[in-house]
Structure 1
Amino acid sequence: MAIVGMAGSFPGAQNIGELWRLLVNKRQGLARGRESAEGCWWIPNARQDSEREFFSGVVADAYRFEADFFNYSDREAEWTDPQQRLLLQCAFAALESAGVVASATKPTPAGVFVGGEFPAYIANVRPYVESMGDYLQALIGNDKDFLATRVAHRLNLTGPAITVQTACSTSLVAVHQARQSLLLDECDIALAGGVSLQFPQEFGNVYEEGLIYSRDGTTRPFDADAAGTNITSAVGLLVLKRLEDAIADGDSVLAVLAGSAVNNDGADKVGFTAPSAGGQELVIRRALHSAGVRPEDIDFIEAHGTATPLGDAVEVAALRQVFGKVEGKRIALGSIKGNVGHCNRAAGAVGLIKAVLAMHNEVLPSTANHDRPSAQLGLEQGVLYVPTEPTPLPAAARTHRAGVSSFGFGGTNAHVIVEQFPKPPRRPRMDQVQLVTLSADRRDQIDTMAQQLAEYLAEHPETDLADVAYTRNLWRVRRQHVLPFVAKDCEELVQQLQQDSVFELHDEGRGEAGGVAFLFPGHGRRELAVGARLYSRYSVYRRHVDEGLSELDPETSGYCGPG
């Protein structure tokens, strides 16, 4: 399966590009605060230490929602769990990143496989429930049962819409389910991942001795000072297609999902919430078999890596059983939880996004908050090691691969294998002026889009301006405000994006962009072959001109041709 699009929002990173910068710079995206359970109605009597500093993982602008764009009334939006709204917006962005424009008038054969967090927001709605109609509205707007179907309904997606709930492994299990659905031809595109929005977001996990939570909110995977994890907020979604379809459609393939597996520990552990080395070992072996690869074919493991003493020890033991006999190489081990905390239901998708970025950019990021390996894990020797600095993938004749793990309370385990996809050869650049448009419902959103595009182009100077124009003009929904830019290359476009555009168009309508019409009135100066440049450069223009000329005298049918 091809991974052709991704979107997400994470602590300290509002999009995929910002997440990658967070990873390669070995930064933590959490915000400093104080321990607090204020507003958390489910633990009103928890013992708190208001003087204890704590890092919390917050998604910026998580409560902001474009109700009009998604055809929500104000009341419906207010009564809907913010994590359901956040998931819907992320789903739209993920599809857009894959070149899929969701349309209210044209259904898309896409499946939705997602899961979410406990809907604590319903406590805010409950005091206003005065009738059975109110109760039904509160239920539909907050119950996790409606996560997938809400996305499918609002974006007109007609494949299977299934909400997956397996605790911490939810979103990676959702990816496995999406892959299975594509293999069975139940859909042509699959949207998979999860959302986990703590409510209120600023809630700091109240520390209690003996539980999984870190005292200061810092997660230190596989580190000598590891002492627990931190539950944070995030949303992460990936768009999958069958690889042959993606290649045929000319999609940008970020990586290949080569195999996946899901299982449960059963009773092979000390308790319901405890991990099982046997269960984890078996799911990894099954994923390798699903992908048709051997342990020595793996370069990197994005682990569950919660930084709890029991969790890390069990996970490393399972990995050693699978990879311990590999010779002639070492396998990197990491966990994104050091950067963004434990994103709970979204954790598996967030880890997979990191692995995809690593394969696509050919760099293995280091793990934040890891300084020296725990002596109890035995990582100083053997095949597994934790990189302390970003490491370029070595040039090799074979394909690089990564394994991604996610394990849930209750024992449902998931593991997937991700392969590097060869980047297509660069086409010759079209050395000509391009029109690039940005469109949004508010001007400040356009300013943000301009900043993000400028940052991307500055970091990727090899980008073809014609590709940027094609994507922005044809594969983005046209919204109320449109800001056009005209540039001859990416460098000039970046300069313009960092300034205010002279022109701004206002379109009160909303929907797919219309077609382009050429009008030749026959007035003004007459020049020979006035359309020759268009004819030679644009195949669509050339085809239509040829069709029109074919209806005329055959002697004129080659008028605009190169000769």
Structure 2
Amino acid sequence: MTPSTREPIAVVGIGCRLPGGITTTKDFWDALCRGKDMVSEVPSDRFHAISFHDADSRKYGTIRNCKGGFVDDIQSFDAEFFGYYPAEASRIDPQQRLALEASVHALEDSGTTLQHIAGSQTSVFIGTFMSDHLCIQTATGQRDNISPHVAMGSSGCSIANRVSHRLNLHGPSITLDTACSSSLVALHLACQSLWTQESEAALAGGVNAILRPESTILMSKAGFLSPDGSCKSFDATANGYVRSEGVGMVFLKPLSRAIQEKDRVYALVRSSLVNQDGYTAEGFTVPNLTAQAALLRSVYAQSGIDPAKVHYVEAHGPGTSVGDPIEANALGEQLGQVRSEDEDSLWIGSVKGNFGHLEGAAGIAGFIKAALVTFYGEIPPQVNYRNPNPAIDLQSLRLAIPTKMIPLTPDRQHKLWIGVNSFGAGGYQCARYP
């Protein structure tokens, strides 16, 4: 089977728990349409952010801002539903808990019962990034409190493996870390597993939890975070990102099976690719325009989709002064400037304006937004965008950024073409097109 003729993958279920009390696709879409910014102060049940904050980034042990995107009551968990006793449940990483719950919600959203999926060749691919819970459980002061449940309760592999175990799923089960592109790379691998018929269905997504100040300190010292605590994607004042937590999971099936089982389909994945920058003189964490443009060329050549027909791209767009212009220039070069004079500019945006940067779950949050844009046929406004970054020539690149709801007009085949980008600090990149 060649890439251009392989069967599309249907997104039939979505589960999420995101900042601002978002727990359903309806909540998610409503927040996007209303242009809500879900970033808030660091909750008191995490750490005392004020005591770590200092405007002088040169000082050791400090954080650049006291804000973030946080889920409500992250320690809550329906252990009884999943059959866990308190001794084990108390040692399970909140990331594992969130992944379990969101997987069940994605299945429920698709109308699939746990009894129906149990024993099936369903795979689980989950992206992650930080390990705050592991640091808590294995801290020097906790050595004598390490119980038999800590090993698997705090390990990264258990995030995916626990979902497969509790739901009795027999397909591949993989947790992966490619930094901020982790969850979209997880989705890429899930689609590959379906296309090769290694799996008959797949759960794919990502999760992130902010439990300790140390991970925020290290991202502050690396220079990634915004001093004012907001993601201003493609804006002139973009100065870094704000950290966020949450989980997103999607349930995937081959389109023929989704049709046979009369599933509601949010969107279709037709192609996806991953690449790496390789060595760049600019530095390990600096994105590369040439590599991003090459990935875009490759994925359209593979899929047979005309890049000039793309309606919208859900960009990585973290709101950094370096990353945003590079991504915008790659999109403009490959998708914007190929449009004819009478065609509209390419719309681009980023969900990070609404929820902040979910790091290991950032890609799946963007993918869910793209799926809902496809499903509803509208593009929500870009939050925290007022004036374009002067390093991005929107006019010459044939790009546009929405400041209000934009209705989309399907092509002659009644299709909407949407792209999704996600990048990692180490140069790992992924693009996919539902």
Report the TM-score when normalising by structure 2. Answer: 0.88
Q: Which residue of 1 aligns with 2:49?
A: 36
Give the counterpart letter for 2:371 in structure 1: V
Give the counterpart letter for 1:340 in structure 2: F
1:71 aligns with 2:79: no
Q: Which residue of 1 aligns with 2:4?
A: none
Greater CA radius of gyration, 1 or 2? 1
Kept in 1, the 8 Å contact 2:350–2:382? The answer is yes
Match of 1:3 among 8, 11, 16: 11
Q: Which residue of 2 aligns with 1:332?
A: 347
Q: Which residue of 2 aligns with 1:140?
A: 152
1:284 Cα shift?
A: 1.8
Q: Which residue of 2 aligns with 1:23?
A: 32
Secondary structure, aligned partner of 2:287: coil
1:139 Cα shift?
A: 2.1
Q: Distance in 2 between matches of 1:169 and 1:91?
A: 20
Q: Which residue of 2 aligns with 1:479?
A: none
1:122 Cα shift?
A: 2.5
Q: Which residue of 2 aligns with 1:538?
A: none
Kept in 2, the 8 Å contact 1:26–1:339? The answer is yes
Match of 2:425 among 405, 409, 418: 409
Match of 1:375 among 373, 379, 390: 390
1:205 Cα shift?
A: 6.2
Specify every segment of 5 or more residues in structure 1 that has no aligned partner in the other structure, as ranges. 419-563
Q: Distance in 2 between matches of 1:48 and 1:113?
A: 32
Q: Which residue of 2 aligns with 1:342?
A: 357
1:201 Cα shift?
A: 8.7
Give the counterpart letter for 1:28 in structure 2: D
Q: From the superposition, tell whether residues 166 and 384 of structure 1 become closer, same or farther in structure 2 (CA, over 3 Å).
A: same
Q: Give 4+ residue runs of structure 1 displaced > 6 Å after superposition.
A: 37-40, 201-207
Kept in 1, the 8 Å contact 2:121–2:201? The answer is yes
Match of 1:308 among 291, 295, 320: 320
Matches within 5 A, 1:87-486: 87-103=99-115, 106-126=118-138, 127-130=141-144, 134=146, 137-200=149-212, 211-323=223-335, 324-327=337-340, 328-394=343-409, 396-398=411-413, 399-418=415-434
Give the counterpart letter for 2:392 in structure 1: L
Q: Distance in 2 between matches of 1:105 and 1:193?
A: 18
Q: Distance in 1 between matches of 2:322 and 2:215?
A: 25
Q: From the superposition, tell whether residues 208 and 70 of structure 1 become closer, same or farther in structure 2 (CA, over 3 Å).
A: closer
Give the counterpart letter for 1:29 in structure 2: M
- What whole-Å deviation, never above 9, does each CA across 1:239-289 have from its counterpart, x for those lacking one? 110011111111111111111001111113521111111111122222223
Q: From the superposition, tell whether residues 48 and 61 of structure 1 become closer, same or farther in structure 2 (CA, over 3 Å).
A: closer
1:234 Cα shift?
A: 1.4
Q: From the superposition, tell whether residues 72 and 104 of structure 1 become closer, same or farther in structure 2 (CA, over 3 Å).
A: farther
Q: Distance in 2 between matches of 1:209 and 1:75?
A: 37
Aligned residue pairs total: 410
1:311 Cα shift?
A: 0.5
Q: Distance in 2 between matches of 1:387 and 1:219?
A: 16
1:63 Cα shift?
A: 1.3
Q: Distance in 1 between matches of 2:411 and 2:116?
A: 46
Q: Distance in 2 between matches of 1:29 and 1:341?
A: 8
* Overall identity of the aligned pairs, in %: 33
Specify every segment of 5 or more residues in structure 2 that has no aligned partner in the other structure, as ranges. 1-8, 54-58
Secondary structure, aligned partner of 2:224: coil
- What whole-Å deviation, never above 9, does each CA across 1:480-535 have from its counterpart, x for those lacking one? xxxxxxxxxxxxxxxxxxxxxxxxxxxxxxxxxxxxxxxxxxxxxxxxxxxxxxxx
Q: Distance in 2 between matches of 1:193 and 1:48?
A: 28
Q: Which residue of 1 aligns with 2:6?
A: none
Q: Distance in 2 between matches of 1:201 and 1:104?
A: 42
Larger RCO, structure (CA 8 Å, separation 6 or more): 2
Kept in 2, the 8 Å contact 1:4–1:246? The answer is yes
Q: Distance in 1 between matches of 2:401 and 2:169?
A: 41
Q: Distance in 2 between matches of 1:317 and 1:105?
A: 44
Q: Distance in 1 between matches of 2:50 and 2:99?
A: 25
Secondary structure, aligned partner of 2:239: coil
Secondary structure, aligned partner of 2:412: coil
Aligned-residue RMSD, C-alpha: 2.5
Q: Distance in 2 between matches of 1:311 and 1:150?
A: 35
1:294 Cα shift?
A: 1.4
Give the counterpart letter for 1:4 in structure 2: V
Kept in 2, the 8 Å contact 1:258–1:290? The answer is no
Q: Which residue of 2 aligns with 1:511?
A: none
